[in-house]
Amino acid sequence: MKIVATKVTPLQCGAASATDANIPQVVLITGAKSQFAQALLRVAADIGELALNSSTSTNSVAPIKLYALSRSQLDITDAANIAAVFDQYRPSWVINCAAYNAVDAAEHDAIEANRVNALGPELLAQQCWLSGARLLHVSSDYVFGGHAVRDVRETGAEPYQNQDSAPNHLPRPFVELDAPKPLSVYGKSKLLGEQKVVAILGERATIVRTSWLYGQDGHNFVQTMLNLMRTQPSLQVIVDQIGCPTWSDALAKVIWQLLMQQCSGVFHYSAQGQCSWYEFACEIQRQALALNLLSLPVVIQPITSAHYAKQALNRGMSLAKRPSYSVLNSAKVQSALAVNTALPMPDNVVWQDWRQQLNCMLRRYHDDN
């Protein structure tokens, strides 16, 4: 794999000088067995080839050395382990995919959630600072709570404070300048991790928040729904939480481009559009039936978050509080990457509607199975 090295000013992206382009890049991926790390590895070669044909290419191309390490090889909560790994691989970039993602379990395991999601990124950032490396940290829409709102007369995307109730206002997708307001232990731990990374690394930090991530690897909503639809006659799915499903491969393409263009700062990325979990489940079934991934339809019933939580409590389970609206605005990352023809708009799946991304993923899943 080869990509173009670039040199930029803070929060911007641009072409590299010939000197910079000749420097070999070493990229270290943490959490190698995670759903998203697998997506990064899967699309890495394709992104490299696209980059060579992009408008930011130079005549001198730096080869990338890519290393993906599992928790047994790199424990991000162990400072000595991190130092030894950095000494061995000497990365110029680190992409942190290691995370504690059990949202409900985190409510009863806050120490571990904060150890992995806050302390781990902090230790990585400290080592990056010492070694001169850059860190790209993957975060979550769950750092937000309530609604970002705008008056119905407004058309822009200026930042507003989160509001839990906003009469005569409409919710709008969150932009990077909106004030976070996490509702759960998980969300708070992810926000703390972001803050630690930015405080330590400043311009050498890149934070990418995403939402409702799914893919052909690992445990995620799409895989869970397909399994349940094959074994259960009916399902109940939450109807009053609104977000945007995002295909892990599309996010991976965006992150490789941010790395290649050495973009820093906070970015939001998700597919286009928005839906409820219920609407997402219905679309999964519709497309899966069309692709013969399912033989028969099942009944999908909408259920409110409150009713679902009450049912869980009756079974002896407690659920973390989740935002009722957590759609992300991707305009900033679109603008940052617009100069690179490796991600053309609007044709590339990266910038398409969530239904189209789902269709791409399910077709890949169909071909692989």
214 is catalytic: no
Q: CA-to-CA distance for 330 and 183, rounded, in angstroms?
A: 22
Location of structure tokens 């970039």: 93
The identity of residue 197, as a single letter, is: V
Those residues whose C-beta lies under 8 Å from the C-beta of residue 201, and which sit 6 or more positions away, are 125, 128, 129, 134, 135
The length of the chain is: 369
φ/ψ of residue 147, rounded to 5: -125, 140
CB 186 within 8 A of CB 323: no
Q: CA-to-CA distance for 287 and 294, rounded, in angstroms?
A: 9
Q: CA-to-CA distance for 287 and 28, rounded, in angstroms?
A: 36
Point out which residues pair with 275 in neighbouring strands: 243
Point out which residues pair with 95 in neighbouring strands: 29, 136
Q: Say if residue 115 is exposed, middle or buried (CB neighbours under 10 Å; 0-12, 13-18, 19+).
A: middle
CB 244 within 8 A of CB 328: yes
Those residues whose C-beta lies under 8 Å from the C-beta of residue 7, and which sit 6 or more positions away, are 14, 16, 17, 20, 262
DSSP 203: G
Location of structure tokens 């789902």: 358
CB 278 within 8 A of CB 237: yes
149: its two tokens: 């709102």
Nearest 5°: the CA angle 331, 333, 339 is 105
φ/ψ of residue 10, rounded to 5: -55, 135
Q: Name the catalytic one among 100, 142, 160, 186.
A: 186
Spell out a b/e string for 68-102, using b for 16 or more CB atoms within 10 Å of the CB, else e.
bbebeebbbbeeebbeebbeebebbbbbbbbbbbe
CB atoms within 10 A of CB 181: 19
Catalytic residues: 186
